[in-house]
Amino acid sequence: MPESAARKRKLRDSEPNPSINKGGRPKRQKIGNDAHSSHTPRTSALATTTGKTPRNNLTAFDWLSVYAYMDSHPKATQNQIINHFTTLKTGALIFTQGTLSRKRQIAEREKIEARAKATPNGLSLKRDRIVTRPDVERALVLWTKRMEAKGEIYNIDMLIQKRKEFDDAFKVPDAERLPGNGWIQSFCRGYNIAFQRLHGEAGSVDPAAAHAEQDRVCKILLDYAPRDRFNFDETGLYIFAPPDRGIAASQMRGKKSSKYHITIGLACNADGSEKLAPIFIGKPKAPRCFKKEGTPEANDIEYHNNASAWMTKEIFEGWLRALDIQMRFARRHICLLVDNFSGHYVDYTPSNVKLVFFRPNLTSYVQPCDAGVIRCFKALYRRNFCRSALRRDAGGFSNIYELSLIGAMCMADKAWKSVTAATIQHCWKHAGLQP
């Protein structure tokens, strides 16, 4: 490097301060008991690590904090109040004496208190929201609350159309109507409305019926220790599907995703001390990979096949017989919770395994495996699948996501063994079947 270029480079005196922006301005910090909560009021508090005092408008939450301090210290002067909030360890609130003199007036205080109560997000606002038609907005808010109370979700198009209907119902003149969707962001921010993605099927369950089912099953489980309470459930897994989302510097073209799937049966007990070996059900009877990489029996894997790659009465009965024999030799009596799938109703009556069937349409609410165990298992499988792609990429393979059936089953078996006891215990508790 030339000596002239070395002189021009500015040396760093110390490590960068994470609370200071590049321009020297302190970053905003959240204060409060739950700074990461989306419902925590925003604040304009600044870090006190710099001597600079930039001007910044305060939120309604900040001014209410100032008013509370003034009420508790009635003899404090304006300078004392300013100095107190400038030196707060949780974050400095910067305002001038003139601003404080104006804001402490009764009219201004009432205005800020009204702003804080106007909307659920009013504490985070720095100025009043301009609403052209409060009656229309109020009707729209009541409609959103009614939709959420019914357990229904709505989108932007529905929100825009509903506003048009309220405009027509209230006979709002064209000059006072809000065209387009520019008002959506302000409306959603004011009432803490955010994009949500629906997960699972618990929203279709009657809560009263779910609580009654929890009580019924808990009474049965009282006769069994946590290590003797088991839950069995099946799930489908697209074992060859590559990730459909990720990160890149530019827009990437999508690729055809593999639709090949298998069924996996998983069983675990309530305290997480036992995870029974999974059952794998696929379509091919003897694919070529079994000859090249070893049979399922050689890899200690239980594999079955049928045309639909799904659980059948014969497969479940064979698995149940083997489990009953295992418990008979161990001199244990266990309770096995299963859903009311027709394939679970078998002619065999086990002696050491008590089958308890969940009532219809309630498994998404009360079944422990549906409460997060299967979700954790699939996440661990995807992690192993992506790490396998990294190894194939380092080996120079063109298709880094290529995998054999026996390799995928071994990977899934490893993922199942990686599910922790703490995760299983939490899911049983979340399902309401454990204290």
**Rounded Cα gap, residues 272 and 266, in angstroms:** 13
Give the C-alpha distances (Å, rounded to integers) separating 94 from 3, 51, 87. 45, 12, 9
Fold (topology level) of 207-242+257-431: Nucleotidyltransferase; domain 5 (3.30.420)
Q: Which of 31, 189, 182, 30 shows the shortest CA–CA distance to 119? A: 189
**Rounded Cα gap, residues 131 and 190, in angstroms:** 11
Tokens matching residue 43? 């604040």
Q: Beta strands of 298-414 (E only): which ranges? A: 302-305, 334-338, 353-357
Tokens matching residue 172? 């709002």
| Sequence ranges of the domains in the chain | 60-124, 134-191, 207-242+257-431
How many whole angstroms from its chain centre is CA 299? 35
Q: What is the DSSP string of 55-124?
A: --PPPHHHHHHHHHHHHH-TT--HHHHHHHHHT-TT-B----HHHHHHHTSHHHHHHHHHHHHHSTTGGG
**Rounded Cα gap, residues 373 and 376, in angstroms:** 5
Per-residue pLDDT tens, the chain, 435 aa: give them: 444 444 444 444 444 444 444 444 444 444 333 434 456 777 776 665 555 556 678 887 888 888 888 888 888 888 888 888 888 877 788 888 888 888 888 888 888 887 777 776 667 777 777 777 888 888 988 888 888 887 777 888 888 888 889 989 989 898 888 888 888 888 887 777 777 766 555 555 678 888 999 999 999 999 999 999 999 999 999 999 888 877 777 777 777 778 889 999 999 999 999 999 999 999 999 888 888 888 898 889 999 999 999 999 999 999 999 999 999 999 999 999 999 999 999 999 999 999 999 998 888 889 999 999 999 999 999 999 999 989 988 888 888 888 999 999 999 999 999 999 999 999 999 999 987
Please report the pLDDT score of residue 126 as a whole number. Answer: 74
Side by side, which strands form the sheet with 279-282? Answer: 302-305, 279-282, 262-269, 229-237, 334-338, 353-357
pTM, 2 dp:
0.64
Please report the pLDDT score of residue 48 as a whole number. Answer: 55
Residue 20 is given by DSSP the state B
Please report the pLDDT score of residue 254 as a whole number. Answer: 75
Torsion sign, CA atoms 288, 294, 298, 301 = negative
